[in-house]
Structure 1
Amino acid sequence: MAKLPGSRATVPALLVGVAGVLLVLYAWRLPPFTSSVQTTDDAYVRGLVTVVSPQVAGYLVEIPVQDYADVKAGDLLARIDDRIFQQRLAQARSQLSAAEASLANLEVQRRTREANIAVTRAQLENAEAGLAKAQADLRRITPLLEANIQSRAQGDTVRAAERQAEATVAQAHASELVAQQTLAETLATRAGLEAAVRNAEALVQLAEIDVQNTRITAPRDGRLGEVGARVGQYVTAGTQITTVVPDSRWVVANYKETQLVGMRVGLPVVFRVDALQGASLTGRVERFSPATGSEFSVIRADNATGNFTKVAQRLPIRITIDPNQPLAGQLAPGMSVVVSIDTGR
């Protein structure tokens, strides 16, 4: 039987072609090499990196810490020259003392005005008593005048005394009204003086807060980043002194939307850490981002303009790290990892 020319060369070529196709299918996880394990290398270790900055401006006079040092909450990281702030606190306390003295003086004035009212009431009672006597004298002398027993001059004297007594009573009434009005005016200033005291107290508290803020302390336990400030440097509110990184760690994996089928909270996760020579650690899916990463971008793409090319979006997934793993203590925020999640489980 005759052999086809070139058959010996065709078989190896076919084998190479089939092997290439199978390799491409395997690399892209296409049938028949599909798997329920979804993997991504777009994943990183995350942590609570807190930037430490002052709230007041001034010159740094002390920095007792160094780069990458372990600190406890409340430890002193830097100190700003507080002489100006101490003087402002003394000034605020003096203003508070003056306001409190004015309020105390108002109490003295109130008692004085109330005493004046008591005096005017006593004068009114005395004037009313004099008026009653003058009216009684007039009633007694009127029949005698009509009978010509008393002289007209005596009658004129008695009537004049009555009118004088009436005027004295009216004057006493007016004095009492003036005293009451003076007391009302004095009491009306209480609200303003009390407000001045509260304002002075608030100024004292603000000055105390500024003095406290000259001491820049660690907000929580952790490890410092690079200490970028130096003694003698002038800093303002918001100037970065250093950073504090607590021990809390987690992983954020950015999966393509085509890989999310079957994923749910609680699924076990295996991730390999590049910095640990590919060592594997475990964790669990904690929660899913409410939107893809492109939605949180500062400059968002507008797909309604120009030519459109569909690009698979990625959804961040937060992964908790299982406790009691010796290598977990070596993880640092920013490390690259490769995450694998078995959606078939």
Structure 2
Amino acid sequence: MKTLNSPFAAGSDLADRERRPADARSEAQPPPTEQRRRNQTDDSPEQTGGETGPQTAAPSGLKPLIGRHPVASAIVAMLIAVAIAGGIVWWLHARNYESSDDAFIDTRTVLISPQVSGAITSVNVTDNQVVKAGDLLATIDQRDYKAAVDQAAAQIRQAQASIADIEAQIGAQQAQIQQANQQVQEAQAAYNFSVEENQRYQELVQKGAGTVQRAQQAESDFRSKKAALDAANAAKLAADRQVDVLRAKAEQAKAQLQAAQAQKEQADANLQRTQLRAPTDGRIAKLTGAVGALASPGQAIMVLVPLDVWVTANFKETQLELMRVGQPVDIHIDAYDKSYPGHVNSIQAGSGTAFSLLPAENATGNYVKVVQRIPVKITFDQPPDVELGPGMSVVPTVTVRP
């Protein structure tokens, strides 16, 4: 059944015809992203024998890369294996050693200072000169000290003369004591005779056979002899006491002699101290003394650096786990670029800061843990054949695992 065409139907058919080509075009045209991917694929075709055609993208990853470069891959693998093996060998070797660049040559320097005061009359050494023990280094004016020695010697002679004089007096007094003993004996004999004679005359008077006058004379003689005996005993006692006095004076003179001898020894020592001599083998450093300068006790005029030196190495406390006394050490001296064998002599009982002028006080304020360093004394097995001085830098390497 046919329907009549109307203006509205004709317009609708015309619009449908116009939409169909547009829809077809939109369906035939791909999205922009897919179009670009297709264009990139079309722009990079593989050329094989001059023919082109649609190709797929190359696979990505490590395996295809190794497959395309087998030789280079093998070389890289070998280098990595060698590096790992070398690192393991180095670690196995390095763990047997402990080293520190915080190390230096050390020794106990001697300050050469006079023990007496005076003007310096001579300086017998110069800077950096090598000296032996006992060598004369400098001399101080000796005139005052020689006079003191002579004065002490005179006092000794005076004390010795006093002792001799007192000993002579004691000898003379001993003779007087012997004389007093003789006098006592004579007085004793006379006294005994007078006692008997007085007793006899007194008996005669009582019997009427003797006179009273003769009895009185006998009694008077008895009293006289008794007084003489007492006087002789007193003289003997005084002579004995005088000997004691002289002996006390002799002891005093001996004490004076000892004091004079001590002064002489002190004067001799002071005279010897005017000559400054080297206490040990070493080299002269920091020479400040000059002829004519006034030297005072305790004032250093030069420094003597002994030839006996060692190494003080400040290791970290974490490096001391396997370090022991006696372990071998390779000592590299920076100044000469040479190494010398040595061994660990001792390890200080405490860190360096514990013995510093101002030790750390960790009980107050905030605390930050810091790895401490422990001084380790290392000595040379043989004296080095180069000149070494305190403060020179070295690098010791301790073998902690044989």
CA distance in 2, matches of 1:331, 1:75: 21
- Per the alignment, residue 241 of structure 2 pairs with 181
1:321 aligns with 2:351: no
Matches within 5 A, 1:146-295: 146-276=206-336, 278-295=337-354
Q: Which amino acid aligns with 1:283?
A: G
Tell me the equivalent position of 2:162.
102
Structure 1 segments (4+ residues) deviating >4 Å: 1-4, 31-34
Identical-residue share of aligned pairs (%): 33
Q: What is the distance in 2 between the residues matched to 1:149 and 1:279?
A: 133
SS in 1 for 2:362: coil
Q: CA deviation at 1:338?
A: 1.4
RMSD: 2.5
Secondary structure class of the residue paired with 1:329: coil
What is the aligned partner in structure 2 of residue 19 from structure 1? none
Pick closer, same or farther for the CA change 1:122–1:32 going to 2, 3 Å.
closer
- Aligned mate of 2:389, from 325, 329, 332: 332
1:158-187 superposed Cα distances (whole Å, 9 cap, x missing partner): 111111111111111111122212222222
Looking at structure 2, the residues matched to 307 and 33 of structure 1 have their Cα atoms a distance apart, in angstroms, of: 40
Q: What per-residue deviation string (whole Å, max 9, x for no partner) do you get for residues 93-140 of structure 1? A: 111112222222221121122222111111111111211222232244
Structure 1 residues 33 and 216: alpha-carbon distance in aligned structure 2, compared to 1, 3 A threshold: closer
**1:17-166, aligned counterparts within 5 Å?**
35-166=95-226
- Size of the alignment, in residue pairs? 321
2:400: which partner in 1? 343
CA-CA distance at 1:310 after TM superposition:
0.6
- Give yes or no for contact 1:261–1:343 (8 Å, CA) kept in 2: no
* Equivalent residue, structure 1, for 2:72: none
Aligned letter for 2:339? S
Secondary structure of 2:224 counterpart: helix
Instruction: Tell me the distance in 2 between the aligned counterparts of 1:147 and 1:33.
Output: 139
How far is the alpha carbon of 1:91 from its aligned partner? Answer: 1.1
CA deviation after TM superposition for structure 1 residue 32, in Å = 9.9
| Bigger Rg over Cα | 2
8 Å CA contact retained: 2:305, 2:389: no
Contact kept in structure 1, 2:115 and 2:298, CA below 8 Å: yes
Deviations 1:151-210 (A, max 9, x none): 322221111111111111111111112221222222233333222211111100000000
**1:147 Cα offset (Å):** 4.5
- 152-161 or 133-142, which deviates more: 133-142
Q: Distance in 2 between matches of 1:33 and 1:157?
A: 130
User: Structure 1's 34 and 136: CA in aligned 2 closer, same or farther, altered over 3 A?
Assistant: closer
SS at the partner of 1:87?
helix
Specify the SS of the correspondent of 2:386: helix
Partners of 1:264 and 1:287 in 2: how far apart?
8
Q: Distance in 1 between matches of 2:179 and 2:266?
A: 46
The aligned residue for residue 310 of structure 1 is: 369
Name the CA distance, whole Å, in 2 between partners of 1:229 and 1:129.
85
Matching residue's letter, 1:340: T
Distance 2:92 2:243 in 1: 99
Q: For 1:300, give the aligned amino acid.
A: P
| 1:195-235 deviation line (CA, Å, top 9, x unaligned) | 22111111000000000100111112222113211100001
Contact 1:40/1:340 (<8 A) preserved: yes
Q: Which runs of 5+ in 1 are unaligned?
A: 5-21
- 1:278-309 deviation line (CA, Å, top 9, x unaligned): 32222111111122111211111100111100
Distance in 2, Cα, partners of 1:291 & 1:155: 108
1:33 deviates by 10
What SS does structure 2 have at the residue aligned with 1:41? coil
Q: Provide the rounded CA distance (Å) in 1 between the counterparts of 2:136 and 2:252.
A: 42
CA distance in 1 between partners of 2:162 and 2:173 (Å): 16
Kept after mapping to 1: 8 A contact 2:132/2:281? yes
- Separation in 2, partners of 1:146, 1:330: 121
The 3-state SS of whatever aligns with 1:189 is: helix
Q: Which residue of 1 is the match for residue 21 of structure 2?
A: none
The CA deviation at 1:143 is: 4.3
